[in-house]
């Protein structure tokens, strides 16, 4: 990865920064002269991430935040100075456990993975539109963390795959119009990352990568201006192929692998 001090942004906001990919993204952006606004629900782990970033020389503001709270998200965004990059990373996972996905879980997944993204991305876009362009000519960037699972109607995780598909499509469609205002949106579509979210999975997870590698690929993709940042390539290709299967065949094939744990995490 290019040196963090060479990345074309200095003021970065990250949701879900307490663990997994969010923590790795925070650490990858931490350097002297950087201002990091980190948010997450778990206060203890968030403070640990903030301390690690501060030790690397960054100025850090840590805010306990539930992205489902639209008013709190707007206050968080509006309380910042300049925002060069917002990484809407907060998300939860959930599956069927081999049965029917509970209704309360469906609502929780959509509230976090879809509404939570909009609760941070929309006020950030409004703020960025008022900012002067940076040295690269952009007023700001927003990275929306989706997933390669969004390319598949996954019977084992209906709400999760649907929520990730929604934010991926929204980010890419919105990027086309926001460019006119000097704002870029990027859909981030990782494969399997070794995090607490994937740890309970009992099915094969090919080409799994570390959070640090995922953060590197994410930031390099955004810096290079890619509208869709999908990785690893083999996982991306696999899920695009799976997404082309007839729904009935996909439902039949899903019975051959262990179901995803029913608990959202």
pLDDT at 237: 92
pLDDT in tens, 184-209: 999 999 998 886 665 555 556 666 78
Cα gap 251→195, rounded to integer Å: 27
pLDDT in tens, 21-78: 999 999 999 999 999 999 999 999 999 999 999 999 999 999 999 999 999 999 999 9
Q: What is the dihedral of CA 205, 208, 212, 213, to 10 degrees?
A: -140
Burial of 8 (0-12, 13-18, 19+ CB in 10 A): middle
Which are the catalytic amino acids? 160
Average pLDDT of the chain is 90
- 102, 30 in Cβ contact below 8 A? no
pLDDT at 259: 58
- pLDDT surpasses 60 at 262: no
Count of positions (residues) in the chain: 265
pLDDT at 155: 82
pLDDT at 239: 86
pTM score > 0.85 for this model?
yes
Nearest Cα to 226, choosing from 264, 179, 181, 188? 188
Residue at token pair 């990373």 = 89
Tally of CB atoms within 10 A around 78 = 11
Task: Write out the two tokens for 117.
Answer: 């993204």
Q: Is the bond leading into 232 cis (omega within 30 degrees of zero)?
A: yes
pLDDT at 264: 46
Nearest Cα to 91, choosing from 77, 111, 62, 65? 111
Task: Write out the two tokens for 36.
Answer: 């990091």
Cα gap 83→140, rounded to integer Å: 7
Cα gap 136→182, rounded to integer Å: 10
Task: Write out the two tokens for 186.
Answer: 């990027």
- 128, 140 in Cβ contact below 8 A? yes
Whole-number Cα distances in Å, 120 to 57, 72, 131, 152: 26, 9, 17, 26
According to DSSP, the β-strands at 140-145 and 183-190 are parallel
pLDDT in tens, 138-196: 999 999 999 999 999 888 889 999 999 999 999 999 999 999 999 999 999 999 888 66
- 188, 221 in Cβ contact below 8 A? yes
């Amino acid at each position: 990865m290019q040196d963090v001090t060479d990345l074309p942004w200095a003021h970065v906001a990250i949701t879900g920064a307490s663990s997994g990919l969010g923590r790795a993204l925070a650490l990858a952006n931490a350097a002297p002269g950087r201002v990091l606004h980190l948010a997450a629900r778990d206060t203890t782990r968030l403070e640990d991430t903030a301390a690690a970033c501060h030790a690397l020389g960054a100025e850090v503001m840590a805010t306990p935040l539930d992205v489902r709270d639209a008013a709190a998200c707007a206050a968080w965004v509006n309380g910042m100075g300049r925002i060069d990059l917002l990484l809407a990373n907060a998300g939860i996972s959930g599956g069927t456990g081999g049965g029917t996905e509970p209704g309360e879980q469906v609502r929780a997944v959509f509230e976090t993975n879809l509404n939570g993204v909009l609760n941070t991305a929309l006020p950030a876009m409004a703020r960025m539109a008022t900012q002067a362009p940076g040295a690269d000519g952009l007023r700001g960037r927003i990275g929306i963390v989706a997933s390669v699972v969004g390319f598949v109607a996954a019977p084992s995780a209906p709400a999760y795959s649907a929520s990730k598909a929604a934010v991926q499509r929204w980010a890419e469609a919105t990027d086309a119009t926001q460019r006119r205002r000097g704002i870029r949106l990027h859909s981030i579509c990782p494969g399997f990352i070794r995090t607490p979210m994937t740890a309970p999975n009992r099915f094969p997870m090919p080409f799994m990568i570390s959070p640090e590698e995922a953060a590197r690929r994410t930031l390099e993709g955004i810096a290079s201006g890619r509208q869709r940042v999908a990785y690893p390539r083999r996982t991306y290709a696999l899920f695009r192929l799976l997404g082309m299967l007839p729904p009935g065949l996909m439902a039949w094939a899903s019975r051959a692998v262990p179901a995803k744990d029913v608990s959202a995490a």
